[in-house]
Amino acid sequence: MHLGAWRRREPRSQRRKAHRMSEIYTQPITAPCAWTRADIARSDDWQHELSGTEIDDLDRALKGIRNPRCRLIDITRDDFALPVLASRLAEVECDVRVGRGFFLLRGIPVERYTDDEVFLLKWGIGTHLGCAISQNVYGDMLGHVFDHGNEDPTAVRTRGYQTSAGLDLHVDRADMTSLLCLRRGRSGGISRIVSSISVHNAILAEAPNMLPPLYEGLPYITTEADGPVEIWNGPVFDVTDGVLSCSFRRGTIQKAIDSPGVETPPEKLAALACIDRVTNDPKLVYEMELRPGDIQFVNNYTVLHGRTAFTDDADRSRKRHVVRLWLQFFTPRPASAYIRDQYKGIAKTLDQNPAGYRTQ
């Protein structure tokens, strides 16, 4: 079965039109989102350590929640007022959305809170940056990234965040991903990020003939726990209203390619090998260790994120645990109908949640 014959996966709620390849961006981009490793290494304005006054602000907001057991989606930005920290978070949101594309907020004293209080803090902070959306078919609004212990990372239905395996550089299905480190485990789990705009610049400079296949699209396969397995074609790069966006989920692409009966054209495989090489170029990739109490924010249109494999502690109370939010920007970004569909989260279709932690 060749790429053009694949059945496109459609949302259950509506049938979308076939994607049309956009015009290829043929000039290098010099915006703040087109950074390299050296650019990040020579500056620290992409991170902020919370002050005592800002932490006190979080404490007051947490204590101000009248019913801590209410549904998370019922807690709004007004319910989690941050008169001190709000302006800082507005700057973070702006930098992530239209600036560099990522930010690191450090220093939440997670050790002084219960896990449930950390979950409330994570949610409350998120209300100041965007609108939370579902992360899986269970309707999880607050995601929990940890090793489930019995998941095969190569299985079609396995989501990478359920394992301890390394995660290739990729995007999530949201405008913004927000990751709070609750516990970091024994070793590994180093965060890796790369500017997908700089990746496009590098391919344009080094192998421009590889861009058309990436704009035309690579194979994807469903990985959710519910519904039929379907394979469809999705563009890696797309230009809408002069704005370049990226949608690249490496693990999902590989599972599609490895599916029985699927034949991927040589030019697509060559383009995939090219973007693999460029996204892992040491000159472009920046690595950071997320410490307990750190929150990383990334713009999925302009930044790919991943992590190295990690080793856990045998004691569950000390196992690696990252709390995740998928957010939609308050101010929409120009993007094609396909990209917008990919970045609106995953529809809830199942009721039972196996995570074991608060998710809604």
Structure tokens given for 160: 């990478």
Q: Give the integer Cα–Cα distance in Å for 329 and 176.
A: 7
Neighbours of 86 (CB within 10 A): 15
pLDDT band at 157 (very low <50, low <70, confident <90, very high): low
Q: Give the model's pLDDT for residue 316.
A: 73
pTM of the model: 0.90
Structure tokens given for 217: 């699209």
Ranking 118-122, 189-193, 221-225 by mean pLDDT, the lowest is: 221-225
pLDDT at 7 over 90: no
Give the model confidence (pLDDT) of 96-139 as tens digits: 999 999 999 999 999 999 999 999 999 999 999 999 999 988 89
Strand 47-49 vs strand 102-106: parallel, antiparallel, or unpaired? parallel
Q: Give the model's pLDDT for residue 14.
A: 31
**Which DSSP helix (H) or strand (E) runs through 12?**
none
C-alpha torsion sign, points 345, 8, 160, 204: negative
pLDDT band at 229 (very low <50, low <70, confident <90, very high): confident
User: Torsion angle, CA of 200/214/101/322, rounded to 10 degrees?
Assistant: -130
Please identify which residue in the block is written with the tokens 């929150």: 295
Q: Using only C-alpha atoms, what is the Rg of the chain?
A: 20
pLDDT at 74 over 80: yes
Q: Give the model's pLDDT for residue 334.
A: 95
Q: Give the integer Cα–Cα distance in Å for 232 and 235.
A: 10
Q: Give the integer Cα–Cα distance in Å for 139 and 150.
A: 22
Q: Give the model's pLDDT for residue 358.
A: 67
Q: Give the model's pLDDT for residue 224.
A: 66
C-alpha torsion sign, points 355, 220, 271, 210: negative
Kindly give, in sequence order, each residue whose CB lies less than 8 Å from that of residue 81, ignoring residues fewer than 6 positions away.
61, 64
Pick the closest to residue 201 from 24, 316, 29, 80 (CA basis).
29
DSSP 206-223: H-GGGHHHHHH-EEEE--
Q: Give the integer Cα–Cα distance in Å for 286 and 346.
A: 29
pLDDT at 154 over 80: no
191-195: strand order across its sheet: 167-170, 303-307, 191-195, 286-288
Hey, what domains does the chain have and what are their CATH numbers? Answer: 3-342 (3.60.130.10)
Kindly give, in sequence order, each residue whose CB lies less than 8 Å from that of residue 228, ignoring residues fewer than 6 positions away.
222
Structure tokens given for 292: 């307990």
Give the distance from CA 298 to its chain's centroid. 7
Neighbours of 197 (CB within 10 A): 25
Interval 192-214 mean pLDDT: 98
pLDDT band at 6 (very low <50, low <70, confident <90, very high): very low
DSSP-based helix, strand, coil % in the chain, nearest 5: 30, 20, 50
Q: Give the model's pLDDT for residue 1.
A: 30
Interval 146-157 mean pLDDT: 62
pLDDT at 360 over 80: no
Q: pLDDT above 90 covers what percent of the chain?
A: 71
Please identify which residue in the block is written with the tokens 């950390």: 118
Cβ distance 223 to 277 under 8 Å?
Answer: no
Q: Give the model's pLDDT for residue 21.
A: 81
